[in-house]
Chains A and B, each alone.
Chain A
Amino acid sequence: MKNTRVAVDVGGTFTDVVIMDETTGAIRIEKTSSTPDDPMVAILNGIDQGNIDLSDVSMFSHGTTVATNALITRNLARTAMVCTEGFRDVVEIRRANKEDLWDTYKDVAKPYVPRRDRLVVKECVDANGTVLEALDEEGARRVANVLKKRGVASVAVCFMNSYTNGANEQRMRDILLEVMPDIPVSISSQVLPEIFEHERFSTTMANAAVSPSVVDYVERLEGKLADGGYERDLLLLHTGGGVMTPASVKDFAARLAGSGIAAGAIASRFIGNLCGFDNSIGFDMGGTSTDVSLVYEGKSRVTKDWYIEYGYPIRFPSIEVLTIGAGGGSLAWKDEGGSLRNGPQSAGAFPGPACYKNGNEVATNTDANVVLGRLGTSLAGGKITLDPALAEASVRETVAEPFGMELHEAAEAIVAVANANMANAVRLLSISRGYDPRDFALVAFGGAGALHGAAIAKELSIPTVIIPPNPGVTSALGCLLVDIQHDFSDSFMAAAADTKPEDVEAAFERLEAMAAERLKHEGVAPKDIVMQRTVEMMYQGQWRALAVSAPSKVTDIESLIDGFHKEHHREFNFRRDDAPVSIFRVGLTATGMVPKAELQTHEVKKNTPTIETTRDVWFDGKAHTAMIFERDNLSAGATFDGPAIVEQFDSTTVIPPNTTAEVDKYMNILIRVQE
């Protein structure tokens, strides 16, 4: 009987395999060392280690960093572009801006495809979609033959104005495939049929560039799983927060470019939801960086302004994740102006914090937490021991002495600065987008999230913090319980007042037909398909559109316009009821619902847990006697007040004074923060 679900999240250091028994909802976790040269090896090791019989598996889902790493390291097969004559440099000219405005010695990296491999053909389509000049077939064949001679592994076809009419691009693809039948060809009118050439070309280029390695990886993994007896589709987590099958990966490989990042955001959405919060903020703090994401009314915030390398947008909808350089290993330092700084430099995994005894002498957040007693000196079930004397020495030398502070004052200062920086990141994602943090719960996870979560919540007046049962492997959970999802969009540029509702409806129906086709191809039954429509609008004359949800049947334009005014006011704090509104684009998220499985629940019995031990933990300038608990010994319904510390294999949870904690039926710790 197929009653096991498996989700795999491949990280830089560890590969986490989450195994769920569908009948009981029980979850177990296998951790293996990642194998960066071929991530599949670690996955197979994890499957062995977990004694998983693949023929029992009903669903195997996977968050992968294969596409991300290929783009970051530029370990890419030789990729070429074919462009309209006169426009081979669109991806090199980009928008001509720089990431670092002031440092003249820091450049934006060159495009994934070098100039020599960007070839041109004659063709012309105008802004209305009229073909002014059909593809020069002779030139196209010449280009195809040159690329064949060069032995390129993948080709992107990027023609001007093809978002209005893809005929010339399609013809070019056919000719390329006649000459080179076995290579992937990405055409911009299919990959991203949107106006603005650089964004469309760049997305198409990235798609072509990762396609050979990603498709190869997915096919190999698919094969191995099938050999082991797995009979269903391998599901791959994409940047938009859903999963897709290998059939879609072939056309949209770059949709996997943010797979790993999305996993954490989805996990936090899921956990927030489980605990009854429609609005939650994901706070995933690791060793070197922190990822912040936001869920509003049950939906992850999605952005199209996304890239792996600055200058090369990948404009597939992507779960919005703000990453800042603050983690457990971030270094404290005094700058030349005399200010106490924290990060973004990090001690990394090696040498790591001073207390790791590997030679680093500069204080990190971890060292400060050790000095404050918040972090114990024995981690990972005793596998790692920390040296408190080295932590103390580093805090003294880096901060206490330069600033004339007492030891504990200095350690608190380090943590306070780190917390303030992270809180500012949350502010950028919430308050500056019109969201009030008081309406949210904070889901804190990652290696260091549970250490800092309550303090961040306090700083932002967030009333509740949720610490999932296994904070260190939460991301893998994100892969376990997601649906198949695809995103579609089409230009629709018109003045709202002059627009007929039936035209909007027709545009949506076109997208829905495409979506239904794709999901059918992936084996989703029609009854399991859910379509969500959005329409992007703006005040006439504005330059950025705002997405507003649209009903499943558009019968009048007024309600769309009204929805836009409301959303504009919520997000930007002003509305102009008398100003004309324009429609810019229609969008569709098509979901293929995956059968739901329930997580295991435990009977909640209100209880006061037994104190294992106590130790001095510093808060607000003085030592408090804090209770120390083992997480494994806390049962559902356990309730206690801060100050307390909960220790477990992969994480430590800090419950500060003036907060209370309780364990819910899913074994999450909920911390209530008082103002």
Chain B
Amino acid sequence: MSDTKALDPVTFEVLKNSFITSVDQMAEQMLRTCYSFVIYNRDFSNALHDAEGNSVAQGNDDIAVHVGTLHFTCKDVIRVFKGDMMPGDVYAINDPYAGGTHFSDVRLVRPIFDEDELIGFSQSNGHWSDLGGSVPGSFDVTAKEMFREAVRITPVRLFRAGDFCSDVANLIANNTRDPASIIGDIHSQAQATQVAEREILRLVRKYGREQVKQGMNEVQDYVERAVRQRIAALPDGTWESVDYIDRDPSGGEGMIPIHIKMTIKGDQIHYDFEGSHPTIGSMYNSAPGATFSAVVAGMKTFFPDLPLNSGFYRMISVEAPENSVVSAQWPVAVTGFLMPFEKIMNSVFEMWSDIMPERAIACAFNLEYLLAGGTDKRREEDATFMFYEWLPGGWGGRRGKDGSDVTTACFGTGLMSQPNEGNERVNPTRTLEFQIKQDSAGPGKWRGGAGVQKSSLLLESEKSVMSYVCDRERAVVWGVDGGLPSMPHGLTIKRAGSDTSEWLGSVFSDFPMYSGDEFARPTAGGGGFGDPMERSTDAVLTDVIDEYVSIERAALDYGVVVKEVDADLCEYEVDEAETEKLRAHIRENRVAWARTDPEEVAEMYRKGEINSMDAVRRYAVILDWETGEPLPKTIAQFRESFERRSVAHWS
């Protein structure tokens, strides 16, 4: 805390709000001038920093995944350019090993000078559509080291005293697939940082340099004070959680554990990742900066009203074993850091749900990201197309409330899904369906939110390839408090002229595609909260009427027997007597079902007697969904979770 005399309350409140306004103005500017469609759909963040690089304010609408990382990259810029900065300079950095997230997130940092004194920095961070590497979009799921992934930008100077350093900018841009857009985004972001500079200098003229500098310190102290008070009011204790990444493509079968032990002591919180798996042979690793961000983003969910700045981070410490899947070092591939990131977030949700039951929430669906590219042959002139897309899905059930339906992935709640009509104009694809997936939600007293299903047809094109970045095909979205898992993620393809679909799963790269192929992806619903046998029959009936849940699964998952009266008039009714009988039957048998010999379950699956929803919800079994082969180690891990999160809570 600062030693000098505190600012008067009015000046403090005015500066605090003005800092936030300056960051919001940066966001507005970026949104309206950006080139990368990923930025346009709100994959960006902005921050104001003090002269040491600590975050003073971050935009409240910024994407979750950037929270808690911007101060690291600002500090790295300071490390490199200290003593060599001047007004009008702008630097770039995207280095995940220095606290960045992944290479796609490029940060532009501008020092703010009042006359000759450096008083702070503004930073604008946006997800560029391409940064080179072996595949369009710079997401090569097979990469083990960063050399295949993208251009790594350690701090460089892009503007010197207001003059554009086109040599450096071109070096970066010309290592990507879309140099013109990259130069455009550099200008867009550089201008955004200038918006904050202008605002801060206005405040300096009005309140004086020292007051503004002190304000930057005091707003951090202010957030720290508020968080510490809330933490101190909580009981001390230790909480643990484990979640998994599906697999290590370079290793054998078996899920990749991420263990977290959280300790609250006084007003301090410590997160220990001891027991987490070593780095894996894919891009699904995260570096320490991103891991810290996941912890902060998970926690912030339980303190939604507090402003974000470095004051929030001061009482949090994070420790991880060296070279683990959550503490990767150069040159381990980390572009898929969002996979460990979302696992950490959901584990943090689980632990905090115990501390703050009024904000409790089950597991959310896993983000999914489709990247395709090739030659568009729809017009006379050939054109390269790059098609990147993510879908919303369901979030976990909550205490007293179903989960949020069709919502952006938890790593980036501000992210928008894309319009199909826009896609169809720029890519040789036609969307065949884009709708809520019936029965996708994890059953529970409060069910998870629903996921979606999107199917697309590839039109006239050549040399097309597709990559898919997803997870939780095996570490299926889990329920809590007796709630059930939802369903496995994974993409299927139906070749032109074929009647059957092929399961490609949740992670693959550079898969060749041809005109006329149809590819379909569901997203999972959220995990269920509470025992589905306790869900009110009215709630099940309403879900049937609105077709979130089918009549069949109302019986299978909820033990509720619904009869159609007149579908035209939306009239259905619950058979209460049959329901009571069915619920008794399920209650009596369900523990045994969840412990059935996996071979027997696999056999039923291969024969088509059950589907993957039955396998995970009723039998707690994970199979190779294409061949139906059981995966023993994965099943053991999944069942451990199922027993702890679901079975143990059934009365």
Contact = CB atoms under 8 A, between A and B. Distances in A.
Do A and B truly interact?
Answer: yes
A427 B19 CA distance: 13
A461 B598 CA distance: 74
Contact of A198 (B178, B222, B229, B419): B419
Given A413-B9, A542-B184, A428 B24 contact: yes
Interface stretch (B87-95, B138-146, B423-431): B423-431
B129 to A, nearest CB: 10
B434 interface: yes
A116 B40 contact: no
Nearest to A576: B187
Residue of B8, B13, B229 contacting most chain A CB atoms (<10 Å): B13
B405 A92 contact: yes
A417 B10 contact: yes
Contacts of B194: 573
A629 interface: no
B101 interface: no
A196 B435 contact: no
Interface in B1-15: 8-10, 12-14
Given A126-B430, A161-B421, A541-B181, A428 B21 contact: yes
Interface stretch (A98-106, A388-396, A509-517, A661-669): A98-106
A95 B431 contact: no
Interface stretch (B27-35, B316-324, B623-631): B27-35
Interface string B415-449: 11101111011000011111110000000000000
Contacts of A101: 60-61, 64, 413-414
Contacts of A115: 436, 546-548
Nearest to A117: B570
Contacts of B61: 101
A603 interface: no
A543 B35 contact: yes
A489 to B, nearest CB: 16
Q: Of B61, B178, B414, B421, which is in contact with the most chain A CB atoms at under 10 Å from its CB?
A: B421
A34 B413 CA distance: 41
Contacts of A421: 17
B226 A95 contact: no
A495 to B, nearest CB: 12
A574 B184 CA distance: 11
A70 interface: no
A493 interface: yes
Interface in A193-235: 195-199
Contacts, number: 212
Nearest to A543: B40
Interface in A172-202: 195-199
A163 B419 CA distance: 13
Interface string A90-118: 10111111101111110100000011100
A248 interface: no
Given A102-B300, A116-B545, A337-B223, A92 B21 contact: no
A350 interface: no
B419 A196 contact: yes
Interface residues of B, number: 84
Contacts of B16: 339
Nearest to B59: A101
Contact of B32 (A197, A417, A493, A572): A572
B42 interface: yes
A98 B407 contact: yes
A104 B361 contact: yes
Contacts of A416: 10, 14
A540 B35 CA distance: 8
B18 interface: yes
Contacts of A85: 433
Contacts of B406: 89, 92-94, 96
Contacts of A571: 32
Interface in A456-496: 493
Given A87-B434, A102-B300, A337-B225, A93 B452 contact: yes
Given A96-B417, A97-B416, A573 B191 contact: yes
Nearest to A200: B421
B17 A114 contact: no
A432 B25 contact: yes
B568 interface: yes
A89 B435 contact: yes
Interface in B551-610: 568-570
B184 A576 contact: yes
Given A432-B28, A572-B29, A195 B419 contact: yes
Given A87-B434, A420-B13, A542 B33 contact: yes
B508 interface: no
Given A100-B304, A101-B414, A115-B436, A336 B420 contact: no
A539 interface: yes
B644 interface: no
A310 interface: no
Contact of A339 (B9, B305, B434): B9
A274 to B, nearest CB: 31
Given A160-B420, A420-B14, A424-B21, A544 B435 contact: no
Interface string B209-243: 00000000000001101100110000000000000
A114 B547 CA distance: 11
A579 interface: yes
B407 A96 contact: yes
B650 interface: no
Contact of B392 (A96, A199, A335, A541): A96
A102 B305 CA distance: 8
A493 B426 CA distance: 12
Contact of A102 (B13, B29, B42, B301): B301
Interface of A: 85-90, 92-98, 100-105, 107, 114-116, 126-127, 146, 149-150, 160-161, 163, 195-199, 335-342, 403, 405, 412-413, 416-417, 420-421, 424, 427-428, 431-432, 493, 539-544, 546, 568, 571-574, 576, 579
Given A86-B435, A161-B421, A574-B33, 17 more contacts: A86-B434, A93-B406, A101-B413, A105-B359, A105-B398, A107-B404, A126-B424, A197-B419, A338-B222, A339-B13, A339-B222, A417-B9, A420-B18, A432-B29, A544-B31, A573-B195, A576-B184
15 contacts: A89-B435, A93-B452, A101-B61, A102-B303, A116-B546, A149-B569, A150-B569, A336-B226, A337-B223, A339-B12, A339-B13, A412-B10, A420-B14, A424-B21, A542-B184
Interface of B: 8-10, 12-14, 16-18, 21, 24-25, 28-29, 31-35, 37, 39-40, 42, 60-61, 64, 178, 180-181, 184, 187, 191, 194-195, 199, 222-223, 225-226, 229-230, 300-301, 303-305, 359, 361, 392, 395, 398, 401, 404-408, 413-417, 419-422, 424-425, 430-436, 452, 455, 545-548, 568-570
